[in-house]
Amino acid sequence: MSILSYLLDHPAQVLALARAHLWISALATGIATAISVPLGIAVHRLRIVRVPALILVSVGQAVPSLALLGLMLPLLGIGFTPALVAIGARALLPILLNTYAGLLTIPPSVVEAARGMGMTNAQILWRIELRLALPVIVAGIRTALVVSIGVATLAAYIGAGGLGDLIFQGIAMVDTPLLLAGAIPAALLAFAVDGLFEILERGLMRPLV
Amino acid sequence: MRYLLANAPLIWRLTLDHLQLSAASCLLAIVTACPLGVLVSRVRWLAGPVLSVAGIFYTIPSVALFALLIPVLGLGLKPTVLVLVLYSQLVLIRNTAVGITEVDAALLQAAQGMGMTNSQRFWRVEVPLAIPVIFAGVRTATVMAIGLASIAAYIGAGGLGVLIFQGISTGNTDQVLTGAVAVSILALLADGILASAQRMTRRTMGVRA
């Protein structure tokens, strides 16, 4: 019996799990982006927000992912929702830090020039600052999504679904073909997402240089 | 809380196991990564390939990486230590290389002018000046190792993750919370202690950062 037998015999099941895996990771990263980008702008603009926000996220970052899943248990129980919250929480920091860092790299002279041209504050934010910071923000989203795919694998243990199901089952039953049918596609999924974002980032850099 | 009081000796033992496993893996990771980082800073064309390989391991979801090693190394401590070491290579190699590369060229010339040999220049100028950056990497790697070690409980490595996995599968919320809080405290303590040590190296090495 080949060690890849489960993977080769159940392609439809593995594909469905991979899709569920990508879905929860992408959804969590999407929610994290919607929270972190405005927060990153606030951290850049408002000094009062900066220190508490950065301390909070860096403390949050030190909490291990498995502990995060455990801490969700009394609040949200087991299933898709607590998994989504835990994955999203993990994805916050890279996007927040990169949004802040991206905005920091913009020379003040560029913003002044835009103001001199008569742009409003909203126009400066959308057309100048966010546009120039975009490659760095996207790099943060890339990190967040790769991290999310990793945490989602772990979150299968609390009912997130996805490829982690096969891995945990395979380990528990000492069934090598089963655990490989989860582990290999999970690794490939992370590589694929990472690679796609690398291409996207290159595309974003080009018109700016 | 009741769970904690009733099982204090067990929790203490798991905490020590956890700490020992994380610390031993970190030391092993430093021993392999720091020489590689120095090599990469000297032989520049190696930087791309070495960091790419380290990046590949870093991209694979940790649960999947544990699973991928089971057919080769089985369960228990061996695959755990290897995963912890592989995972921390990227941040350790990169920080070592960056720390060494960023030493001011003028300082190196001054050292040469003072008649230092190459090895003196390396140990007395480059290494001390790179220490704060390397230390930042060690801090990240340690926090990561504590988190990964908790996941490794599922493949029989012991440690505080045992409480979380066992508690989730038996529906014992108190047990899950005890494990989750204990491992979070461990990670936050390690982070805090290494952060102050990092500041100390910065001061004693006379680096204005």
How many whole angstroms separate alpha carbon A160 and alpha carbon A165?
A: 8
Q: Measured in Å, how far apart are chain A's first and last C-alpha atoms?
A: 54
Residue whose tokens read 């929480």: A89
Contacts of B139 in chain A (CB under 8 A): none
Question: What 3-state class would DSSP assign to A154?
Answer: helix
Candidate from B64, B155, B181 with C-beta closest to A153: B64
Q: Would B122 be classed as within a structural domain?
A: yes
> So what's the pLDDT on residue B209?
40
> So what's the pLDDT on residue A83?
93
- Domain extent at residue B68: 10-204
- What does the H/E/C string look like for A45-77? HCHHHHHHHHHHHHHHHHCCHHHHHHHHHHHHC
Q: Would A118 be classed as within a structural domain?
A: no
Asked if A73 lies within 8 A of B71 by C-beta distance, the reply is: no
Nearest in space to B126 (alpha carbons), one of B103, B106, B105, B110: B103
Give yes or no for A29 touching B (CB within 8 A): no
Provide the number of structural domains found in chain A.
Answer: 1
Give yes or no for A182 touching B (CB within 8 A): yes
Q: Would B1 be classed as within a structural domain?
A: no
Nearest in space to B70 (alpha carbons), one of B84, B80, B61: B80
Biggest distance spanned by C-alpha atoms of chain A: 72
Q: B84: which residues sit within 8 A by CB, 6+ positions away?
A: B21, B22, B25, B26, B29, B145, B148, B149, B152
Phi-psi region of B43 (alpha: psi -120 to 50; beta: other; left: phi over 0): beta
Q: Would A165 be classed as within a structural domain?
A: yes
pLDDT for B130-173, tens place per residue?
888 899 999 999 999 999 999 999 988 888 999 999 999 898 88
In the numeric block, which tokens belong to residue B61?
A: 């979801």
Contacts of B67 in chain A (CB under 8 A): 167, 170-171, 179-180, 182-183
What ipTM, to 2 d.p.?
A: 0.86
> So what's the pLDDT on residue A208?
53
How many whole angstroms separate alpha carbon B135 and alpha carbon B91?
A: 11
CATH number of the domain enclosing B187: 1.10.3720.10
Contacts of A73 in chain B (CB under 8 A): 167-168, 173, 176-177, 180
Chain B closest-CA separation from residue A115 CA (Å): 33
Nearest in space to B93 (alpha carbons), one of B176, B36, B168, B138: B36
Quote the crossing angle between the two packed helices A65-76 and B127-151, to the nearest 10°: 40
> So what's the pLDDT on residue A10?
83
> Residue B187 in contact with residue A63, Cβ under 8 Å?
yes
> Residue A44 in contact with residue A104, Cβ under 8 Å?
yes
Asked if A187 lies within 8 A of B177 by C-beta distance, the reply is: no
What is the pTM assigned to this prediction?
Answer: 0.87
- Domain extent at residue A63: 5-106+135-208
Asked if B68 lies within 8 A of A194 by C-beta distance, the reply is: no
Q: Would A129 be classed as within a structural domain?
A: no
Candidate from B71, B75, B164 with C-beta closest to A66: B164
How many whole angstroms separate alpha carbon A173 and alpha carbon B166?
A: 16
Q: By CB neighbour count within 10 A (0-12 exposed, 13-18 middle, 19+ buried), where does A119 fall?
A: middle
pLDDT for B90-141, tens place per residue?
999 999 999 998 888 888 888 888 888 888 888 888 888 888 889 999 999 9
Which DSSP state fits B25?
A: H
Asked if B143 lies within 8 A of A62 by C-beta distance, the reply is: yes
Q: Would B5 be classed as within a structural domain?
A: no
Nearest in space to A84 (alpha carbons), one of A136, A29, A145: A29
Give pLDDT tens digits along chain A (209 positions).
Answer: 588 888 888 888 989 999 999 999 999 999 999 999 999 999 988 888 888 888 887 788 889 999 999 988 888 888 899 999 999 999 999 999 999 999 998 888 888 898 889 888 888 888 888 888 998 999 999 999 999 999 999 999 998 889 999 999 999 888 889 999 999 999 999 999 999 999 998 888 765 54
Give yes or no for A187 touching B (CB within 8 A): yes
Provide the number of structural domains found in chain B.
Answer: 1
Q: How much is the average pLDDT of B42-53?
A: 90
Residue B208 above 70 pLDDT? no
Asked if A194 lies within 8 A of B59 by C-beta distance, the reply is: yes
CATH number of the domain enclosing A65: 1.10.3720.10
> So what's the pLDDT on residue A12?
87
**At CA B133, angle to CA B121 and CA B43, rounded to 5?**
55
How many whole angstroms separate alpha carbon B32 and alpha carbon A182?
A: 30
CA B85 from centroid of its chain's CA atoms: 8
Confidence label for B206 from pLDDT (cuts 50, 70 and 90): low
> So what's the pLDDT on residue A38?
93
Candidate from B61, B150, B161 with C-beta closest to A186: B61
Mean pLDDT of chain B: 89
Quote the crossing angle between the two packed helices B47-59 and B77-101, to the nearest 10°: 140
Candidate from B71, B155, B180 with C-beta closest to A67: B180
Candidate from A158, A171, A180 with C-beta closest to B168: A158
How many whole angstroms separate alpha carbon B149 and alpha carbon B24?
A: 11
Asked if B184 lies within 8 A of A64 by C-beta distance, the reply is: yes
Number of Cβ atoms within 10 Å of the Cβ of B10? 12
Asked if A176 lies within 8 A of B187 by C-beta distance, the reply is: no
Contacts of B147 in chain A (CB under 8 A): 64-67
Phi-psi region of A197 (alpha: psi -120 to 50; beta: other; left: phi over 0): alpha
> Residue A163 in contact with residue A10, Cβ under 8 Å?
no
Q: Would B128 be classed as within a structural domain?
A: yes
Question: What 3-state class would DSSP assign to B172?
Answer: coil
Asked if B67 lies within 8 A of A180 by C-beta distance, the reply is: yes
Q: Would A125 be classed as within a structural domain?
A: no
